[in-house]
Chain A
Amino acid sequence: MFNRRFVLLCLAVLSLVACKKSDPHSSGTPGATIPGNLRILNLGNGAEPQDLDPQVVTGVPENKIINALFEGLVAYGPNGQGTIPAAAASWTISPDGLTYTFALQPDGKWSNGDPVTAEDFVRSYQRILTPSLIAEYANKLYAVTGAEEFHQGKLADFGQTGFKAVDARTLQITLKRRTSFLIESLKHYAWFPIHPKTVEKFGGLARRGTKWTRVENMVGNGPFTLKEWSMQQRLVVEKSPTYWDRDAVKVDRLVFFPTENIETEERMFRTGQLHKTNELPLDKTDVYRREQPESLRVDPLLGIYFFRVNVTRPPLNDKRVRRALALAMNRELIVEKVTRQNQQPAYNACPPMEMFTSPVRLQGDLAEARRLLAEAGYPEGKGLRPIELLYNTSQNHKKIAEALQQMWRVNLGVQVDLVNQEWKVYLDSQDTLNYDLSRAGWIADYVDPNTFFDLWRTGDGNNDTGFSNPDYDRMLQEALNTANDVDRMAVYAKMDALLMDEIPFLPLYFYTRTFALNPAVNLPQNLVETPNWKFIHFKE
């Protein structure tokens, strides 16, 4: 009895498995196949999006998807730079630089066919500033009159803030102080509109985490609409039939794959499952450079890799010691031999961009580094306690830390111990100033030097070094009050010089973004990884 049952079971299972293997054509990689003549672009997107509510999420993977589903007032141009009209057709700025008046696209529509109105924008801004939504990026709107007060509950009437719908197609935003990078910052999704009626339907405007972002409910105003969202599988968006500039959209469908494991992602690229990866393993970069350079892309990324210095702890509270460490780093060697992705060695606080290339450069040689260390009382490193260098666990950070450890030992006689911690533990150590030196990175949200200088303001949530300088804080404010960008950039140059004198952090390099891209795809470079999807297309 037993054996017959067993044999039968084996046969049944065997036939099942055999069935599965016998049909090679059932292998439909959805997306890689092309049903009809759809132009489908498959993209590695790093991680699973937390949510698709532009006023709740905070990450880079979300940013890319949200830019497909929603559209802000302005956007990046066809080459990935500059500013072109988006949901706003045109705008004017008052002579005092405080009042911005936007004329919305006359044909702007939500994906359900409703017109995009100025009232929608005002209600969106009211929503992100409502305390109970707990929008983590609400403070990005603080430059607007009354926004901060409303968000902190000190102002109850939203009508008294600087957001105003003049008529259905005219939006007016009044600032409490001149903010010359306002237009630039509007490209960040914290400024994107949501469809108030839809959000209201699913639990109200002021609640986070409701179901309005699900496939069946989602309404957006972007060039694409949400078609499928399978958690940890893929997210599919399709060209929107209601988008005002739909004729400009060149791709029919974008498929975003959550690709946490970059080795797997690279294999997906090689089997043709992806047109673009999110990253490329360091070891693979050289192979691609050698064997298929046409598929390798190394784009500049507006960000800086640096080491925070805890300036509250001896001996690092001595500016001379910090400076000695900064001067004894051979940045060229690290970029060329360790990181190997065309990063630019950093000798100041702010990466170069179109509007601002800092004239400041950390000056001095090894001899000066040794002299400074001796002056501080530690000739050839004698008498100096071992310094701990903290980094979050990762092969790449480890390689860099080891190279620096060696440089400081050989060049200065300083002993540096390496400590690695898991990501959140590391963030906590940094936040509580429980470190000597700590590896860090900062990627801009929008293209303006302000984002790099704001970091070192006294008490800024991301300062995390204990650095505080009243002159610096005053200049930061002064920069915001300048009448034009030329003056503003001059202030930033002074601030950069101050930072390179005080050294609250050791700059290492300015980031690049390395990824694999199918040569048939035309993808404009963008400095902050905010794509304008309508300008991405397959080469004819």
Chain B
Amino acid sequence: MLRFFASRLLQSLLALLIIITATFFMLRFVPGGPFTAEKAVTPEILRNLEAHYGLDQPLWKQYLDYLGSLARGDFGPSFKYPNRTVNEILGDKLPVSIELGFLSLVVALLMGLPLGILAAIRRNTWIDYVSSSFGMMGISIPTFVVGPLLVLAFAIHAGWFNASGWYSPMDRVLPCLVLGIAYAAPIARLTRGGMLEILNQDFIRTARAKGASELRVVFKHSLRGGLLPVVSFLGPAIAGILTGSFVIETIFQIPGLGREFVNSAFNRDYTLVLGTVILYAGLIMGLNLAADLTQAWMNPKVRLEG
């Protein structure tokens, strides 16, 4: 277990270094820089700006300097926002993205699990069909369609919510719902599949033969095994919710990390791009590791090998 953990950690660190290196150099080879602007500054001012941020140094030196400050936990200054550091921006935005992601995940699980379980128990009835069509719709209708539709219905016509923002608890409802629905769909399908497989097993027949109630069969005997596919999906799903919330954050003007991530690339805010990439990469690796561990805990068939 410990060996597994240590070797996975080492692999992750190596992958992270490769990601940082690739991002660093790719950014520099993209045309246009942080100070390219429609109203051009004079060449002297441009030179001073580049010197101020160390962009006049040879690329290899900039790279080493960056790694050095990274080792000290310093992501550097933002080019776009002169009076803010990348650490500060990430520290500001990450909690928002986590809150959005967590609440959406709760919505996704609360909708997806019951639907999937019901569909599995009542296979080939109208409940199953409704659940499956919901799953199909949730997967195929993108959030940038669902989002504005819900805003139109509940914010503009009904007047229950704000059209956008992240100020009061009420402002959380629509975005979390939209993002939650998108992930509820695959969860429902996976749950249904997993549950069906378990429900067809001999030990379930035995439990039923012993006179166990349907509730007991479902919750006591099937759920743990039936949810395995969902658990292995959750790792990438959480990462996807966190990194993929850009669209939702834009539609609802949520001050999260996803928007910063995309905008920083447009702004060529080198340090902010790198900061978000590193943070996301770390999150994805951590979550995948967590998913592996959880899976091993839930399924005795899975063993952790180094």
Contact = CB atoms under 8 A, between A and B. Distances in A.
A469 B41 CA distance: 22
Interface stretch (B120-128, B153-161, B276-284): B153-161
Contacts of A482: none
Contacts of B36: 424, 427-428, 431
Interface string A1-35: 01100110010011011001101101111100000
Interface residues of B, number: 64
B38 A53 contact: no
Given A233-B255, A270-B156, A50 B163 contact: no
A461 B42 contact: yes
Interface stretch (A130-138, A362-370, A399-407, A491-499): A130-138
B155 A17 contact: no
Contact of A28 (B38, B39, B49, B167): B167
Interface stretch (B54-62, B133-141, B219-227): B219-227
Contact of A264 (B42, B164, B223): B164
Interface centre among A2, A13, A424 (most CB of B within 10 A): A424
Contacts of B156: 267, 270-271
A51 B219 CA distance: 56
Contacts of A357: none
B229 interface: no
A441 B37 CA distance: 12
A28 B168 CA distance: 6
B165 A231 contact: no
B83 interface: yes
B40 interface: yes
Interface in B79-125: 80-84, 89, 92-93, 106-107, 110
B41 A268 contact: no
A425 B83 CA distance: 26
Contact of B163 (A21, A230, A271, A428): A271
A418 to B, nearest CB: 19
Contacts of A209: 77, 82-84
Contact of B38 (A134, A422, A427): A427
Nearest to B38: A427
B217 to A, nearest CB: 11
Contact of B110 (A10, A20, A136): A10
Interface in A15-69: 16-17, 20-21, 23-24, 26-30, 48, 50-51, 53, 56, 58
Contacts of A422: 266
Contact of A152 (B41, B44, B152, B166): B44
Nearest to B34: A424
B286 interface: no
Given A6-B219, A424-B268, 10 more contacts: A27-B171, A134-B49, A257-B253, A264-B163, A268-B163, A271-B162, A273-B165, A425-B31, A461-B41, A464-B40
CB-based closest 4 A-B pairs: A424-B32, A209-B82, A232-B255, A461-B40
Interface of B: 30-33, 36-45, 48-49, 52, 77, 80-84, 89, 92-93, 106-107, 110, 148, 151-152, 155-156, 159-173, 219-220, 223-224, 250-253, 255, 259-260, 263, 266-268
